[in-house]
Every structure is written in structure tokens, then in C-alpha cells.
Homo-oligomer: A and B are copies of this chain.
């Protein structure tokens, strides 16, 4: 039995930033978000890897307390992404994406996952997200992420998925693109009209906005002077967010605001090193310490 189920990618990433370079390291949306959630709740991953996937990475996830019984090992190679960041770090530049085994991913949730109350559908094909969603018995809170590719190519399936979930989390460019508006307030409120109770728009170095019925919450970014690698920031944010909701069993808008800050705190740690190098080290105390700094940052 796990408290939080996360479906998404498990990847081998090759990344270059002005602060260094790593090759074939552990990455992927489900990895970042599950390691971020693990401090708060028992988390299980639903994904697929190839036969080439290093066993040490699955072992690593298990030692982090992440359940990997939903990670299927299939014939073929693991999903790979390589990219780089310029000095401004705001935009990932993709050099190469190899879907490999992910291309034919047909998710099957272990029985131990289906009873879970919290589900995060990290960015993947919305039809795959729907397949995962339908296997859940009676989730209490479902959140989804998406990306420009699905907005451009599968908007109908994506919209059907949005109508089902309790919360949408996506970045500012995606929100503007979906609604063809430059105004994030307009975009946020329009998503609510589709059904979700909360819409969280991630703005990178500018923090995040959360829209709930009649209210807008603005969360700052943690003022990092040195950002080493932003990869996985959005996913660790989402993982920390849903982990906090599961831990407290409270999905009220008030508690979701706290969850946004916990997610932001964890995401800020994540950006301080490559891959999971920082996330694997932080304790719940570290997270609470940064939470309290956030309180100071916004207080007036």
C-alpha cells in the first residue's frame, strides 16, 4: 500500500549547465517527484524502463523509500533526454530525446497502488494519463502536469483529462499557450471553469501562482544565488506538493497554499545540484527550515 502514486517518466539524462556536465544520470518526472514526495508520504512510481536501466538506480529509489513495483522493465532501451542550459538557466534546450521503451508505454498499476488516495499524473501523453487514472479505485485528489507538445498535438485528449482532475500544475508558457492569452490570471481562471479545484502555474525564478475558487495565491521563488541545474524543478515541486497533502490528509485551499510552499522549498534544494544529488540528502528539518524562510520572504 502506498499513499501517493506518481506516473511519469524514469529517464537517463545528459545535462550541461554553466556549472558542469553529467551524463546518463538518473532523471525523469516520476523520479524527481517521487523523491520529493518521499519525505512526507509513502510513494509509488508507475513507469517503464528498458533492460539497460542500471539496477543501482532502482536500488537507490528503494533506499529513498520509493516503491518501484510499478516500474515495468521492458525489452529495449530506457527513455533518454539530453539538453543544456545557457547561463540564464530559464530555458532547457533539448539536444536529443529518445523515447525508446516509453513510446509504447501501457501503464499497469500494481494492486497495492490502486487503493491510493493521491495520484500525480506527471507529464506524459494525456491518453496514458487517462489509462492510469482509470485504474485507480477512488482517488481523493488527482493532479496532472502537461507540456506544449500535448497542447499542440492532443488538445482534445488533454482537455478530457483536465476535466477529470482536482488540480492542474503547468508552467506559465504552457498556460498561456493552452488559452492563447498572455494573461496568467485569465488563463488560471479559465482552467477552473473546466473543472479542477486548483490550478498552479509555475513561473520558474518568479515563483508560482495558484488559483482556487475566487482566490489567487502568489508564492515567491526561493532566492537562490547559485542555481546549478534546474532540471526536475517542476516535478520536485509537484511531488512535494502532493506529498504534503497526503501527509496531512487535508486538501483544503488553505492547506494547498502550504503545499505550494513545501513544493517550492524542495524544488529550490533540487536546483542546487545535478540529478538527485541534493534531493537525496535533505531532511524534513531542511525542508521546514526553508519553509520558515519563505514565511519571512513574503511577510509585510
Contact = CB atoms under 8 A, between A and B. Distances in A.
Contact of A206 (B183, B186, B206): B206
A97 interface: no
Contacts of A186: 225
Given A209-B223, A218-B220, A225-B189, A257 B182 contact: no
A184 B227 CA distance: 12
A203 interface: yes
B298 A223 contact: no
A92 to B, nearest CB: 14
Interface centre among A88, A218, A226 (most CB of B within 10 A): A218
Contact of A223 (B182, B207, B216, B261): B216
A300 B219 contact: yes
Contacts of A87: 182
Contacts of A224: 183, 185
Q: Is the interface of A mostly helix, strand, loop or mixed?
A: mixed
A218 B207 contact: yes
Given A189-B225, A298-B298, A88 B220 contact: no
A296 interface: yes
A200 B184 CA distance: 23
A63 interface: no
Given A261-B300, A296-B215, A298-B298, A90 B223 contact: no
Contact of A300 (B206, B207, B217, B296): B217
Contacts of A225: 183, 185-186, 189
A189 B225 CA distance: 9
Given A215-B296, A257-B299, A298-B298, 8 more contacts: A183-B224, A185-B225, A189-B225, A206-B206, A209-B223, A216-B297, A217-B300, A218-B298
Across chains A and B, which 6 residue pairs bring their CB atoms closest together, nearest first?
A218-B220, A88-B182, A257-B300, A206-B206, A298-B298, A216-B223
